[in-house]
Structure 1
Amino acid sequence: MSYYAVITGDIINSTKFDAFKRDKLLQKLDTFFRKYSAESENEMHLKIQFEIFRGDSFQGLLDSPAEALKLCVLMRSYLKSQFDSELTLDARIAIGIGEISYKSEKLSESDGEAFHNSGRLLDVMKKLPQQIGLQSPWPNLNNDINIGLVLLETIISKWTPLQADVVYLKLSGQTELQISKILNIAQSSVNQRAKAASWGAVEIFIKHFNEVTKANLS
């Protein structure tokens, strides 16, 4: 039995964007998806398929469910790092884990438990206290992770664009020295921003998600 993760999300407050900003946002999302897909396949041998639809919504299919939370946090840190003086960019994302009964080149035409879990969860997430949620076939996993995601939200919601930038680069595998060169700031400043973003707690919870998800898959 093969399990997949489907992430379904939408951009928060996207209706407040004018046509120019919406197009720019979609370009950024497309660039992010293409870059992450290529890097994941080359470095981690993960197969990831992405699709943007309805202008402000997106969906992704991962063949390794244990990597789903890292992708979601990476995406949100990327969006929040894209500074906008008027609007803070962010996304609401539902992770659905399950089997796939039909897989098409277009995700919108694919079907299965993972798609149903993700789509149904996103429909109710506006009522939840967190912007990332999980629905899987395992109730204990759902309870464990969703409680943690509420706590994680208290961290992510406070990120400044500068802090989110550091988190994004750390999740991308960059060292603090490499980040200091990329951002042209002192390494001590990178460390300070990482601490202010509670990077240690974020890293631990992503690792926890990876481990407990793999345990349920085995």
Structure 2
Amino acid sequence: MKKNNAVKDDSTCFAAVLTGDITRSQTYSDDELRSILAALKQHLTTYAKRYGGHFDIYRGDAFQLAVEQPQYSMHIALGLRLALKAHTANVDVRISVAVGEAHFRPKEVKTGTGEAFVLSGRGLDAIKPYHLAFFSSDNKLESNLQLLTRFADAHISALTQTQSETLLAYLEASDKNHENIAAILNKNRSNVSRILNASNYKLIAEYLAYMTQAIMTRQEGTE
């Protein structure tokens, strides 16, 4: 894993910033919202450790995560949405993802500066009626990836709680054999395969691979 040089020496780096909030958070009871926020924090912590990042949760239902491995930004965004949808029925989050120059310090992500922070924050303000959006200062990159992301967004939005749980397990597993996914979820293998097929898991995996490669190519052009 790459070291977080932006945190270490206060330099500016090419990074991804994910700004999001829980939809309809005011409709949940205090206990429900606490449980949802605990799940959100757990997954943000996992992704921050895995991809060299830092995050803040603020205003009760909003969050911001900055990572120095931007090529995995959409893995994180989809992972967060699937995790929350799997956690509680009818729960979802809006996430605005932006890649570009960023400057941030540990535990002070919400005070970060740079184009990635600006684009991500503005993107969340204008994200409705979507739940997922991608932005970049590179107009060609944004144009190429934004429409694909809207299709992915519509697909994820339509998944059930069980489909979200199963697809997340598949995407997160190092061994993606359906037998292994079934063991992780303590479910029947044929049932897992049926759910994954209904979730169009191969298409989502292809989308993530395409996004990873496109962002990596853009990042290499800045170095």
TM-score by length of 2: 0.87
More moved, 63-72 vs 152-161 = 152-161
Partner of 1:99: 101
Deviation at 1:104, TM superposition (A): 5.0
| Cα distance between partner residues in 2 of 1:7 and 1:19 | 25
Corresponding residue for 1:154?
154
* AA matched with 2:138: W
Could you tell me whether the CA contact under 8 Å between 2:167 and 2:196 is conserved in 1? yes
Root mean square deviation of aligned Cα = 1.5
- For 1:198, give the aligned amino acid: N
Letter in 2 for 1:179: I
Aligned to 2:72: 67
1:21-42 alpha-carbon deviations (Å, 9 max, x no partner): 111111111122223333x1xx
The 5 Å alignment of 1:5-44 reads 5-38=16-49, 40=50
Q: Which amino acid aligns with 1:132?
A: L
- Deviation track 1:151-200 (CA, whole Å, cap 9, x = no partner) reads 11231122111111111111112532222112222111111111101111
Tell me the distance in 1 between the aligned counterparts of 2:96 and 2:171.
20
Contact 1:51 1:107 in 2 (8 A): yes
- 1:80 corresponds, among 73, 76, 85, to 85
Corresponding residue for 1:50?
55
State the identity as a percent.
24
Q: Which of 116, 119, 123 is the matching residue for 1:117?
A: 119
Q: Could you say what secondary structure the match of 1:9 adopts?
A: strand
Q: Shift of residue 101 of structure 1?
A: 3.9
Instruction: Kindly indicate whether the alpha-carbon contact (under 8 Å) linking 2:48 and 2:67 is maintained by their aligned counterparts in 1.
Output: no
Amino acid paired to 2:81: R
Question: Could you list the runs of 5+ residues in structure 1 that have no partner in the other structure?
Answer: 41-45
Aligned mates of 1:52, 1:58 — CA distance in 2: 4
SS of match in other structure, 1:72 = helix
- Quote the Cα distance in structure 1 between the aligned partners of 2:86 and 2:111: 32
Between the aligned partners of 1:103 and 1:36, the Cα distance in structure 2 is 17
**Within 2, Cα distance between the matches of 1:151 and 1:102?**
31
Q: Give the whole-Å Cα distance in 1 for the aligned partners of 2:104 and 2:45.
A: 23
Whole-angstrom CA distance in 1 between matches of 2:109 and 2:140: 28
Give deviations 1:83-141, integer Å, cap 9, x for gaps. Answer: 33xxx111110011111245353112221111111001111001x4x311111111111
Distance 2:154 2:95 in 1: 16
How far apart, in 2, do the equivalents of 1:82 and 1:194 lie?
Answer: 18
Unaligned runs of 5+ in 2: 1-11
Paired residue secondary structure (1:75): helix
